[in-house]
Amino acid sequence: MQITDQDITKRITTLEQAIEAWAITRELWFDAGFQSFSERVDGDPGLTPVATILVSDGDLLRFIEEGIDGAGDEFHTILKQHGFWCENMDGVSLHIYPEEEGELHQPILDYVRWKWICGLLQPDVDDVYEEIYAHFAKRPDDLHRLHWRDFEVLIARSLRHQGFQVELGPGSNDGGVDIRLMQRAPLGDFLTLVQVKRYVSHPGR
């Protein structure tokens, strides 16, 4: 059975809730929370999928790391029960990974990279990231996973990369004009109005 993004989100949320509930019972859930890889780390997710990151400025990570009152054993037992393991990165953030031989390893690796790719699609960023185009070149079906606004941003940035002067529309109440392209030419300027459409690759399925 294929593991969907919804399945992954549910498994990660269930783990986070179990960790938080345990930390609350030990009165350690102060200045603590979870962040995704893309929220916490400015960089490529690499080949080791980070399912979630436990961040704490309080005593929680110290109790876990030093095994105070058995906290370390209890915490690692929770992780193992859910199919995960962890690594303390800097004393305030604990990276939590799916077990390498577990069923979640590859799906979470794909999921984390997908979220990172989506994070690169920001309307206010003009730089072209080769990673984006390399990803969709290898996985064109992922274009259908994009939110409609992210798809418009992707098309606008692709056109800008090709040398057009691009103005991205507001996304709503735009009269059907998603992108305006301006081309400067010796005989006059040309304005092209673009409506972005995404068609299903396999009609009827």
pLDDT digits (tens, 9 = 90+) for 64-123: 999 999 999 999 999 999 999 999 988 899 999 999 888 999 999 888 888 877 777 665
DSSP string, 28-79: --SSEEEE-HHHH--S--TTS---EEEEESSSHHHHHHHTGGGHHHHHHHHH
- Tally of domains in the chain: 2
For residue 89, with 0-12 CB atoms within 10 Å meaning exposed, 13-18 middle and 19 or more buried, which class applies?
middle
pTM above 0.75, yes or no: no
Say whether both 77 and 148 belong to one domain: no
What is the CATH number for 20? 3.30.1240
Q: What's residue 40's pLDDT?
A: 84
Say whether both 9 and 89 belong to one domain: yes
Say whether both 134 and 93 belong to one domain: no
Whether 175 has a pLDDT exceeding 80, the answer reads no
Say whether both 16 and 94 belong to one domain: yes
CA 85 from centre of chain: 20
In a domain, 204, yes or no: no
Instruction: Find the mean pLDDT for residues 113-139.
Output: 70
Say whether both 131 and 85 belong to one domain: no
Find the domain containing 75 and state its range.
Answer: 5-98
